[in-house]
């Protein structure tokens, strides 16, 4: 009998698998074979270090290609970028990582901790086998954890559907850096414009990621194509344009949903949800990976206690998730309220209405 079957392959699933396996629990981690050109979520704030250390995953993280992240420059509500220096936070610096390598490092840490890795295509088959037991492709399991990110691929009996707070998308592309990068090296740049906002950040190995966040209708209303629309956008994004000076694209555009959504319950009889599958936040928060690692550890604690017959931590886990969502909403509304230059533009009007 497996103690926990975990679905996913990102920081939430792997952190849960590491933490449970290290407690001596039998864990099967069902993850998908997919090889996209790149993954998003490549900038880690300073808080990531202590979480990776608590998971004893630093030796694996040390092997990942990465570079120091010095902080954030943001042209948001102003034209001159404001500086948020990580030097002033505990830890003193974050990281720009190769996100595929980070996921692989955490997966290796989970396997070496004793979790069984089950590679699947599509969705794993799961069914209720009776009270207190599930049937999975790796045998019967006591608990299931959905940590499949925004896809939230598993609907468990009694698991509520999501409540959507904000519809948005991100268009993301990798670039080979050119001469413009030297001014910004090591920094994440955030820049608002009439149609949304853009972030760019260095990647280990000399590339840059640039990601444009906007409303869900944007791609459909750009019949001339994204390259042409991006050229127009750059005229509204002077700092980003300067950074990408001389840069050449090294990937196609990828489109990601950045819908913000939550649930009314995060656990039920025999199941839990964690990471973006629980609360999915705007990338503006810049904390998705840290939240996912923390969720993985918390859900492991709740499952570990439940396996010993103590259900109280599951209730505490739900309450923590609700509190985090409230805090995220407050922070996000405050942050969007700081930008008042395009109050009549649809992207900003929608966000002002939500605050």
Ligand X SMILES: Cc1cc2nc3c(=O)[nH]c(=O)nc-3n(C[C@H](O)[C@H](O)[C@H](O)COP(=O)(O)OP(=O)(O)OC[C@H]3O[C@@H](n4cnc5c(N)ncnc54)[C@H](O)[C@@H]3O)c2cc1C
Note the residues at the interface with ligand X (CB under 6 A). 7-13, 30-32, 34, 40-43, 120, 123-124, 147-149, 151, 153, 170, 172, 211, 256, 258, 275-277, 283, 286-290, 292
What tokens were used for 91?
Answer: 């830890």
Neighbours of 293 (CB within 10 A): 29
Q: What does DSSP say about strands 187-193 and 71-75: parallel, antiparallel, or unpaired? A: parallel
What tokens were used for 179?
Answer: 């001469």
Q: Which of 265, 199, 263 is nearest to 237 (CA)?
A: 199
Nearer to ligand X, 254 or 333 (CB): 254
Nearer to ligand X, 72 or 229 (CB): 72
C-alpha torsion 101→107→110→115, nearest 10: -170
Taking the complex as a whole, the smallest distance from the CB of residue 309 to ligand X amounts, in Å, to 28
Nearer to ligand X, 30 or 197 (CB): 30
What tokens were used for 217?
Answer: 């209708």
Nearer to ligand X, 65 or 246 (CB): 65
Taking the complex as a whole, the smallest distance from the CB of residue 310 to ligand X amounts, in Å, to 25
Taking the complex as a whole, the smallest distance from the CB of residue 350 to ligand X amounts, in Å, to 18
Taking the complex as a whole, the smallest distance from the CB of residue 282 to ligand X amounts, in Å, to 9
CA separation for the pair 50, 47 (Å, rounded):
6
Nearer to ligand X, 217 or 310 (CB): 217
Taking the complex as a whole, the smallest distance from the CB of residue 64 to ligand X amounts, in Å, to 14
Taking the complex as a whole, the smallest distance from the CB of residue 344 to ligand X amounts, in Å, to 26
Contact criterion met (CB below 8 Å) for 267 and 302:
yes
Nearer to ligand X, 148 or 177 (CB): 148
Residues with Cβ within 8 Å of residue 204, at least 6 apart in sequence:
65, 66, 67, 96, 97, 98
Nearer to ligand X, 42 or 166 (CB): 42
CA separation for the pair 171, 161 (Å, rounded):
26
Instruction: Please give the radius of gyration of the chain, using alpha carbons only, rounded to the nearest integer.
Output: 21
CA separation for the pair 275, 57 (Å, rounded):
18
Nearer to ligand X, 26 or 294 (CB): 294
Q: Which of 250, 321, 95, 99 is nearest to 186 (CA)?
A: 95
Q: What does DSSP say about strands 169-176 and 207-214: parallel, antiparallel, or unpaired? A: antiparallel
Nearer to ligand X, 289 or 297 (CB): 289
Taking the complex as a whole, the smallest distance from the CB of residue 287 to ligand X amounts, in Å, to 5
Taking the complex as a whole, the smallest distance from the CB of residue 339 to ligand X amounts, in Å, to 19
Question: In which region does residue 286 sit, left (phi positive, over 0), alpha (psi from -120 to 50) or beta (all else)?
Answer: left
Residues with Cβ within 8 Å of residue 105, at least 6 apart in sequence:
57, 60, 61, 63, 64
The CA-based diameter of the chain, rounded to the nearest angstrom, is 63
Dihedral sign for Cα atoms in the order 128, 131, 136, 139: negative
Taking the complex as a whole, the smallest distance from the CB of residue 125 to ligand X amounts, in Å, to 11
């Amino acid at each position: 009998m497996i103690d926990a079957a975990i679905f996913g392959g990102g920081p939430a699933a792997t952190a849960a698998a590491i933490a449970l396996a290290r407690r001596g629990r039998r864990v099967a981690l069902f993850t998908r074979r997919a090889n996209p050109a790149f993954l998003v979520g490549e900038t880690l704030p300073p808080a990531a270090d202590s979480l990776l250390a608590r998971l004893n995953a630093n030796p694996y993280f040390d092997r990942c290609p990465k570079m120091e992240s010095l902080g954030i420059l943001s042209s948001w509500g102003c034209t001159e970028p404001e500086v948020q220096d990580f030097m002033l936070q505990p830890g003193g610096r974050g990281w720009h990582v190769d996100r595929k390598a980070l996921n692989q490092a955490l997966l290796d840490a989970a396997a070496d901790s004793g979790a069984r890795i089950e590679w699947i295509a599509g969705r794993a088959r799961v069914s209720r086998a009776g009270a207190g037991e599930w049937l999975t492709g790796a045998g019967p399991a006591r608990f299931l954890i959905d940590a499949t990110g925004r896809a939230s691929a598993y609907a468990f009996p009694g698991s509520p559907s999501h409540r959507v707070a904000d519809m948005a998308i991100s268009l993301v592309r990798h670039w080979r850096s050119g001469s413009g990068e030297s001014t910004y090296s090591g920094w994440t740049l955030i820049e608002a414009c009439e149609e949304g906002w853009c972030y760019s950040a260095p990647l280990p190995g000399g590339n840059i990621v640039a990601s444009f966040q906007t409303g869900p209708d944007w791609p459909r209303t750009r019949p001339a194509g994204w390259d042409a629309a991006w050229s127009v956008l750059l005229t509204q994004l002077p700092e980003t344009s300067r950074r990408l000076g001389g840069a050449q694209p090294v990937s196609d555009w990828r489109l990601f949903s950045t819908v913000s959504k939550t649930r009314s319950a995060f656990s039920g009889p025999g199941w839990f949800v964690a990471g973006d599958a629980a609360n999915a936040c705007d990338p503006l928060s810049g904390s998705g990976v840290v939240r996912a690692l923390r969720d993985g550890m918390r859900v492991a604690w709740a499952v570990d206690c439940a396996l010993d017959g103590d259900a109280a931590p599951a209730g505490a886990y739900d309450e923590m998730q609700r509190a985090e969502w409230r805090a995220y909403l407050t922070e996000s509304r405050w942050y969007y309220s700081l930008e008042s230059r395009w109050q009549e533009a649809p992207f900003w009007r929608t966000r002002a209405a939500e605050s």
